[in-house]
């Protein structure tokens, strides 16, 4: 397959193909890619629904379905905010943390199997600058909290 002449477009197309690998691993692990993204940010800290929606690029109405599904699977739990009884926080359960760890390990193994020594080429994608740019775009798309 011939890459497009524009290196940026070629890199974007490659990123999309890599996302498909990640999606396959998530599917095999019993989660959709949005569920994995949502659960993965809950491993380190509790979050409110709008934060999960923003991070997963899921509409605020659809986040109820995502969180309900994760809760039914026993992967997250909800708690009421101490200061605002209407507010709800979500936290990963121990089972949820284990599922994320297993998917992460499987994903690393899958990418290593497919890419071999070329996995090091992916390391620059984990930069603070890229994360900040993605966060800024999410804030633009979803508005203030």
Check whether 115 has a pLDDT greater than 80: yes
Averaged pLDDT for residues 7-19: 91
Q: Burial of 120 by CB count in 10 Å (0-12 exposed, 13-18 middle, 19+ buried)?
A: exposed
Percent of the chain at pLDDT exceeding 90: 57
Rounded Cα gap, residues 127 and 11, in angstroms: 16
* CATH code linked to domain 7-142: 1.10.10.10
**Residue 49: C-alpha distances to residues 20, 38, 61, 63, 68 (Å):** 26, 10, 10, 7, 11
Taking the domains of the chain in order of start, what are their residue ranges?
7-142
d(CA 138, CA 136): 5
Mean pLDDT over all residues of the chain? 90
Tens-place pLDDT, residues 48-92: 988 898 888 888 788 999 999 999 999 999 998 777 767 889 999
Residue 35's pLDDT is 95
């Amino acid at each position: 397959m011939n890459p497009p002449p524009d290196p940026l477009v070629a890199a974007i197309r490659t990123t999309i193909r890599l996302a498909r690998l990640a999606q396959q691993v998530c599917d095999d692990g019993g989660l959709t890619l949005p569920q994995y993204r949502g659960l993965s940010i809950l491993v380190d800290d509790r979050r409110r629904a709008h934060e999960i929606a923003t991070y997963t690029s899921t509409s605020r109405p659809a986040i109820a379905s995502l969180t309900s599904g994760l809760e039914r699977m026993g992967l997250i739990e909800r708690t009421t905010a101490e200061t605002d009884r209407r507010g709800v926080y979500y936290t990963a359960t121990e089972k949820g943390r284990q599922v994320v760890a297993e998917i992460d390990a499987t994903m690393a193994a899958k990418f290593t199997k497919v890419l071999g020594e070329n996995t090091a080429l992916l390391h620059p994608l984990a930069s603070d600058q890229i994360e900040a740019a993605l966060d800024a775009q999410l804030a633009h798309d979803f508005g203030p909290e």
